[in-house]
């Protein structure tokens, strides 16, 4: 992998280690007698750091893992920074491990996708094998997984969807990864996921059994992320659906901060649980998760191959539908929020002119719009409805005098409009501009009605009197 900084050591947990076919973990290289074009620059963590490998000038050690070391280097011929992967094999592993190493280069070199790490070169210098690939500035997905911090479901879904679409491209080229896990997925500085490390990948070609470098009953991969058919070594069943399973586990871990089988001690115990037990339900670990996400995750991680998504396209399409649905819902929510703000503003203006009854109907509608969606704003609207009803009742009993305290009836409405989730409103306050005061605006609707009736009755009486006088000739 090419990374812009070192990963925290506490993420190098057992469940994230890669197991090779003989059941062991790749050992570090101990041979220090290197010469020729590979120059030694120093030692870090007991390991020699080369000064250069061929035309690549080593700048820094980016990371060291089970399959070898990764260095930041400068390609003097093409004038660019690259990541150089150097394998470290034990003597018992060297033959098959070296074949896998070159197969990684060949598998990755045939792929072209913005979310797949690009391979530039592969070769050997004075017995030192290497792969030169794109230098990705960022961190592995492991950095963003923490049991004490839950990731946003939409963000996790979008990351996994991009990885699924990248793997759809790989599968379309006949390449199966077989070791998808957080430490093999980088997030660059633009938050784009980049799939790394095709060291266990194999071309899915008819009659190419030897290229898989595995036998029935052998294990290659990281047990926590491996599909049951991989753990059983059932080579005839290992394929695209196996990568789907692995990516489903990554999705689960992004959402929950832990693998589906947490607290497992040894690798053997973990493998046994994956084969015989159901994972801890996502809905139990994250009760707040949308049921649609739970369904997607469960289907991707189904033990039965036939019940999983059969392709990465099916997986990414399912996530895509979920993301689209929540975006549509968010847009509708945004429109509803605008309507709520407009009605609050209108109610405020009505209260400024003491039209409490009209304002009451608007605030009651705000209460209906926020029911079950925004409890704080809903509670606030109920408080204002009660206050407005009291004001209407007071106005009907007597004609209120002009207030002199200068307080704003809708002050809390204005504050709430700025940030409706952080206010704790209590009662509405009222301001009244004396320049706008007149006998009509001071009246309640009931008083206005009484005034109109009385005025009309008086006018009718006067007209009747005039007609009577004319008729009598007086």
CA nearest to 199, candidates 89, 48, 37, 52: 89
Using a 10 angstrom Cβ sphere, with 0-12 exposed, 13-18 middle and 19 or more buried, the burial of residue 37 is middle
DSSP 73: E
310: its two tokens: 């059969």
**How far is it, in rounded angstroms, from Cα 7 to Cα 182?**
12
**How far is it, in rounded angstroms, from Cα 256 to Cα 354?**
53
Q: Which residue has the tokens 């320049």?
A: 435
182: its two tokens: 């957080």
Task: List the alpha helices (DSSP H) in 277-374.
Answer: 282-285, 291-300, 312-352, 356-370
Q: How wide is the angle at C-alpha 19 spanned by C-alphas 15 and 20, nearest 5°?
A: 170
Indicate if 179 belongs to the active site.
yes
Q: How wide is the angle at C-alpha 145 spanned by C-alphas 139 and 146, nearest 5°?
A: 130
CA nearest to 44, candidates 71, 24, 26: 71
Q: At what angle do helices 312-352 and 240-256 cross, to 10 degrees?
A: 30
**How far is it, in rounded angstroms, from Cα 23 to Cα 223?**
11
> Which one is catalytic: 16, 75, 121, 179?
179
145: its two tokens: 């997984």
**How far is it, in rounded angstroms, from Cα 128 to Cα 66?**
17
Question: Residue 61 in 3-state DSSP?
Answer: strand
- Asked if 2 and 187 touch (Cβ cutoff 8 Å), the reply is no
143: its two tokens: 């950095």
Q: At what angle do helices 291-300 and 240-256 cross, to 10 degrees?
A: 140
Question: Residue 256 in 3-state DSSP?
Answer: helix
- Asked if 87 and 67 touch (Cβ cutoff 8 Å), the reply is yes
Query: Could you give the C-alpha distances from 20 to 17, 267, 270, 356, in angstroms and in order?
Result: 10, 13, 16, 76
Q: Residue 296: which residues within 8 A CB-CB, separation 6 or more?
A: 251, 315, 318, 319, 322
Q: Which residues are catalytic?
A: 179
């Amino acid at each position: 992998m090419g990374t812009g900084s070192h990963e925290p050591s506490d993420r190098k947990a057992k469940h994230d280690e890669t197991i090779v076919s003989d059941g062991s973990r790749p050992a570090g290289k101990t041979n220090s007698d290197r010469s020729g074009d590979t120059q030694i620059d120093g030692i870090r963590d007991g390991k020699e750091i080369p000064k250069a490998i061929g035309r690549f000038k080593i700048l820094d050690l980016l990371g060291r893992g089970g399959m070898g070391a990764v260095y930041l280097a400068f390609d003097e011929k093409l004038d660019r920074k690259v990541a150089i992967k150097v394998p470290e094999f034990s003597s018992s592993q060297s033959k098959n491990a070296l074949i896998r190493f070159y197969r990684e280069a060949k598998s990755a070199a045939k792929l072209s996708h913005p979310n797949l790490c690009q391979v530039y070169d592969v070769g050997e210098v004075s017995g030192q094998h290497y792969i030169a690939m794109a230098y990705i500035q960022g961190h592995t997905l492991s950095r963003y997984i923490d049991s004490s911090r839950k990731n946003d479901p939409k963000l996790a879904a979008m990351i996994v969807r991009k990885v699924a679409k990248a793997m759809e491209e790989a599968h379309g080229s006949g390449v199966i990864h077989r070791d998808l896990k957080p430490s093999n997925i980088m997030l660059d500085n633009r938050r784009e996921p980049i799939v790394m490390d095709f060291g266990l990948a194999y071309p899915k070609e008819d009659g190419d059994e030897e290229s898989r470098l595995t036998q029935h009953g052998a294990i290659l991969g990281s047990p926590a992320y491996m599909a049951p058919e991989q753990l059983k070594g059932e080579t005839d069943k290992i394929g695209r659906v196996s990568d789907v399973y692995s990516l489903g586990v990554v999705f689960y871990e992004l959402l929950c901060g832990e693998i589906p089988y947490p607290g497992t001690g040894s690798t053997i115990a973990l493998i046994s649980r994956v084969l015989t037990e159901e994972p801890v339900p996502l809905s139990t670990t994250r009760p707040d998760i949308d049921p649609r996400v739970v369904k997607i995750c469960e289907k991707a991680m189904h033990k039965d191959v036939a019940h999983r998504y059969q392709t990465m396209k099916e997986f990414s399409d399912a996530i895509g539908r979920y993301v689209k649905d929540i975006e549509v819902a968010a847009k509708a929510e945004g429109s509803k929020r605008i309507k709520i703000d407009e009605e609050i503003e209108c109610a405020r203006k009505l209260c400024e002119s003491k039209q409490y009854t009209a304002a009451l109907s608007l605030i009651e509608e705000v209460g209906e719009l926020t029911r079950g969606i925004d409890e704080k704003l809903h509670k606030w609207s109920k408080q204002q409805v009660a206050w407005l009803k009291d004001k209407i009742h007071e106005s009907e009993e007597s004609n209120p005098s002009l207030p002199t305290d200068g307080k704003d009836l809708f002050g809390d409405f204005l504050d709430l409009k700025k940030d409706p989730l952080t206010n704790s409103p209590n009662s509405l306050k009222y301001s009244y501009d004396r320049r706008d005061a007149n006998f009509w605006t001071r009246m309640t609707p009931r008083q206005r009605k009484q005034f109109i009736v009385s005025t009309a009755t008086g006018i009718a009486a006067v007209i009747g009197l005039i007609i009577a006088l004319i008729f009598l000739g007086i």
